[in-house]
């Protein structure tokens, strides 16, 4: 099968023919239809984070496809089912986080495209207990970004405590942010989107942002303070400065939810202002597989849109450069495995898709 492989940190991925994975008890083999490109995949390929994957490996944790084979003991899914293979590839199932519904905090978890091979391949081996079940009627190319960008920002909005009377700021309106804006708007909150890309801000307005702030042209802290300050700020950006601005934009008693994971791992936290204003700073990792099913249900009910562009796996390195330099044609790039040679013809088309 074809796969994009990280052979060495910081080097271009290599397209190789590798063996189709063998599956064991509790596992399934998924024939990939679509797989989204997340900034996390780029961090993985560059070895940016303190805990690093081990090359060679196949990135990708937004893989969606059809179950082709099931291993012994699998009863949750059957051959022919469409499933999503998320970041949380598996967890121990017995620790306190796991049994209390927070399996994403399990210290024994295995992560797709990081500690186990992921979705930048024609087939994926997955733990049947942790895949998402994609409802009928959802295009796999829409389901792919929802598998990480969707469930991650959905969870962030959940833990932010967003309510209908609140002002919620979303810092970063790209792959994660364009979905965070929608989930915040679904709560009834007034949403302000912050970015340095004017096109993304226009998209943010289309998706429900009542206010937009171009951080390259005005001070986002001052702009949001003029609106009364944010009850919660969700930071999806890849620069610590945005996190610091998000904190500064909060009203008294507000909450900063850290979602993005910049390669530069540190932000400045002013202790005096945090204490006096009663601020909360919390991290939000991806949602659970229950959260993912809720994300799919919202999409099935036409409550969210996915802005995406298709491309072929052979263009993976060009796609990474587009994400890094801000020239990607839409908030999410999705590798198309289902259209064969025809995928190349649509590789430069942008799809603004409503479920």
Last-in-domain residue among 237, 258, 283? 283
Comparison of pLDDT for 218 and 351, the residue scoring more: 218
CATH value at residue 32: 3.90.180.10
Q: In this structure, are 208 and 174 located in the same domain?
A: yes
CATH value at residue 209: 3.40.50.720
Whole-angstrom Cα distance, residue 43 to residue 23?
A: 28
pLDDT in tens, 167-209: 999 999 999 999 999 999 999 999 999 999 999 999 999 999 9
Q: In this structure, are 123 and 178 located in the same domain?
A: no
Q: In this structure, are 202 and 124 located in the same domain?
A: no
Q: In this structure, are 163 and 265 located in the same domain?
A: yes
Q: In this structure, are 264 and 292 located in the same domain?
A: no
Q: In this structure, are 141 and 11 located in the same domain?
A: yes
- Could you tell me which residues come within 8 angstroms of residue 118 by beta carbon, excluding any fewer than 6 positions away? 35, 41, 57, 58, 59, 60, 61, 63, 85, 112, 124
Total structural domains within the chain:
2
Whole-angstrom Cα distance, residue 220 to residue 98?
A: 38
Helix, coil or strand: residue 60: coil
Half-sphere exposure of 11 (CA within 13 A, CB side): 11
User: Please, are residues 221 and 245 in contact by the beta-carbon 8 Å criterion?
Assistant: yes
Q: In this structure, are 137 and 13 located in the same domain?
A: yes
Instruction: Please give the C-alpha separations between residue 330 and each of 45, 56, 208, 277, 307, in angstroms, as whole numbers.
Output: 21, 29, 17, 37, 6
Q: In this structure, are 330 and 215 located in the same domain?
A: no
Q: In this structure, are 266 and 291 located in the same domain?
A: no
pLDDT at 206: 95
Last-in-domain residue among 266, 283, 300? 283
Q: In this structure, are 63 and 142 located in the same domain?
A: yes
pLDDT in tens, 336-346: 998 433 333 33
Q: In this structure, are 228 and 342 located in the same domain?
A: no
Expressed as residue numbers, the domain containing 116 is 2-149+287-354
Position 289 confidence tier, pLDDT thresholds 50, 70, 90: confident
Instruction: Write down the pTM of the prediction.
Output: 0.92
Tokens of 292: 């993912």
Last-in-domain residue among 283, 302, 335? 283
Q: In this structure, are 44 and 115 located in the same domain?
A: yes
């Amino acid at each position: 099968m074809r796969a994009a492989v990280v052979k060495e940190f910081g080097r271009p991925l290599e397209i190789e023919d590798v063996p189709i994975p063998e599956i064991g008890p509790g596992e399934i083999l998924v024939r990939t239809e679509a797989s989204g490109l997340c900034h996390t995949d780029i961090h993985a390929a560059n070895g940016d984070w303190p805990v690093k994957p081990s090359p060679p490996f196949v990135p990708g944790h937004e893989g969606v496809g059809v179950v082709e084979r099931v291993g012994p003991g699998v009863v949750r899914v059957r051959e022919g089912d469409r499933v999503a293979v998320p970041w949380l590839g598996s967890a121990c199932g017995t620790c306190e986080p796991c049994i209390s519904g927070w399996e994403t905090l399990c210290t024994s978890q295995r992560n797709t495209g990081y500690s186990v091979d992921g979705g930048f391949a024609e087939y994926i081996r997955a733990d049947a207990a942790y895949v998402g079940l994609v409802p009928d009627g959802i295009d796999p190319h829409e389901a792919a970004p929802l598998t990480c960008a969707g469930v991650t920002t959905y969870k962030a909005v959940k833990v932010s405590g967003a309510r209908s009377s609140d002002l919620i700021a979303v810092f970063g309106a790209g792959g994660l942010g364009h979905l965070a804006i929608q989930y915040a708007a679904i709560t009834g909150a007034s949403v302000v989107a912050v970015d340095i890309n004017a096109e993304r801000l226009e998209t943010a307005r289309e998706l429900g942002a009542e206010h937009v702030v171009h951080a390259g042209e005005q001070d986002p802290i001052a702009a949001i303070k003029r609106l009364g300050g944010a009850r919660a700020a969700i930071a999806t950006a890849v620069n610590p400065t945005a996190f610091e601005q998000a904190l500064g934009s909060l009203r008294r008693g507000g909450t900063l939810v850290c979602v993005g994971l910049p390669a530069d791992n540190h932000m400045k936290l002013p202790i005096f202002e945090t204490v006096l204003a009663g601020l909360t700073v919390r991290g939000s990792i991806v949602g659970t597989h229950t959260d993912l099913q809720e994300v799919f249900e919202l999409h099935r009910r036409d409550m969210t849109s996915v802005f995406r562009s298709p491309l072929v796996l052979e263009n993976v390195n060009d796609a990474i450069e587009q994400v890094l330099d801000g020239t990607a044609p839409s908030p999410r790039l999705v590798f198309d495995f289902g259209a064969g040679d025809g995928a190349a013809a649509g590789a430069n088309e942008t799809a603004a898709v409503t479920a």
